Structures are given as C-alpha cells and as structure tokens.
A and B are shown apart, each in its own frame.
Chain A
C-alpha cells in the first residue's frame, strides 16, 4: 500500500476552470508539501504545512491555494487554471511519524499528478 497517495493521477482541464488536487498520507507525518516539476527546472515548492493550523507559502504560490483538512490530507487548488500551470505536481510529507526511520530530514513523495491546462 502506498504511504502517500495523490488523486487524480492525470487531469486535463481548460483555461479558467477551478480544479483541486488531493493528497493523503498514512505515514503519520505532521508536515506536508506541494511541489511542481517542470522540465529543466527541477521541483519548486508551492505551499507547505507544518501542522493542521500552519500553512505557508513557498517560492511559487501565486495562482494556487491549499487546504489542510486533517493531519493526513493536504489539497492544492487552482482557482482559475491557466496553461502555464501545466506541470507535474507532487505532494510530499515528513516528520517522525510512525516509523523509526522517519525524520524531518527526509521527505516522502507521492506518485505525482500530471496536469494539463488547455
């Protein structure tokens, strides 16, 4: 069973539409992150949350919003999608969690959501 899951895995939408990407984790981690990956740019941080009541902007938060519904759930929304938001989006988690090997020093990534905005 995957520890970090993302839905949907693929999404095609049109300019101006509102969409939500969802992330769930079973690792018991308190920290969650959203990144986008673009060819030649690596991964860039959109938003991060250190606990349910703590939400912080990353380096490229414009055009995005997030919601931390529970410790295990962190959603990313595009209020009005535009074509340059076409990218691969990753959710990640970190924290002591339930595993002796987990720590804040390591982030665990979901499989990604490929988003295309036409």
Chain B
C-alpha cells in the first residue's frame, strides 16, 4: 500500500524567503513521486516529478525537490518566494510500470505575504 503525508496544512512565508513544503511517503514498491500545484479556481498542474532517475528534481517556476530514500521524503523547496507562488500544493505517489494510480496527500496551502 502507498500513502503520502504532508506536514503542515498551512505554511506562511514572507516574499523572498525560502519555501519548504514537506512530504513523506510510504510505498512497498519503488515509488514515483510528484508535486502538483493548484491555483485558486483552477485544476492541478504538475510542478515536478521523480521517476527513479536523478534524486534532485527541478521543476517549473524555480521549484525543486529531493528524493531521499532513507528518510522516505520528497520535500519541495524554492529559494525565494514570490507572491504568485500562493497556492495549494499536493504531493502524490504512484507505483512504477505505468499503472499510475496517484495517491495524494492532503495538501499544503502556501501563503506569501509582503
């Protein structure tokens, strides 16, 4: 069975500060891991994905995440927050082999204040 835990349902940062959104996973098979972003009144958009290649994954809008097998973590970071980063972020896990039923975390809402 697979599961995802996102620590912190709400995170607030100042503009220009480091963004760190935490994600831990549980998987009995080598996982594929994803971060999606949801802007208000929109669907989900893929930020980045880990599919067993490089452990440090770079995504869109300056975000990156590092797969750490020993810690079963896939935390999302961005060095400097912008106001436009305010959104809800979802971590998700699936198994390999193309049978990609995604299991989502509960989400973290990021607020960016001036």
By a beta-carbon cutoff of 8 Å, the part of chain A in contact with chain B is 4, 31, 35, 40-45, 48, 58, 90, 92, 94, 104-112
Contacts and interface: CB of A to CB of B under 8 A. Distances in A.
Q: Is the interface of A mostly helix, strand, loop or mixed?
A: strand
A58 B103 CA distance: 11
B49 interface: yes
Contact of B44 (A40, A48, A90, A104): A90
Nearest to B96: A105
Nearest to B106: A42
Interface residues of B, number: 23
B43 A110 contact: yes
B9 A107 contact: no
A45 B43 contact: no
Contacts, number: 51
A94 B100 contact: yes
B32 A42 contact: no
Given A48-B101, A105-B32, A42 B107 contact: yes
11 contacts: A42-B106, A43-B102, A43-B104, A48-B101, A58-B101, A90-B44, A107-B46, A107-B100, A107-B102, A112-B42, A112-B43
B77 interface: no
B95 to A, nearest CB: 11
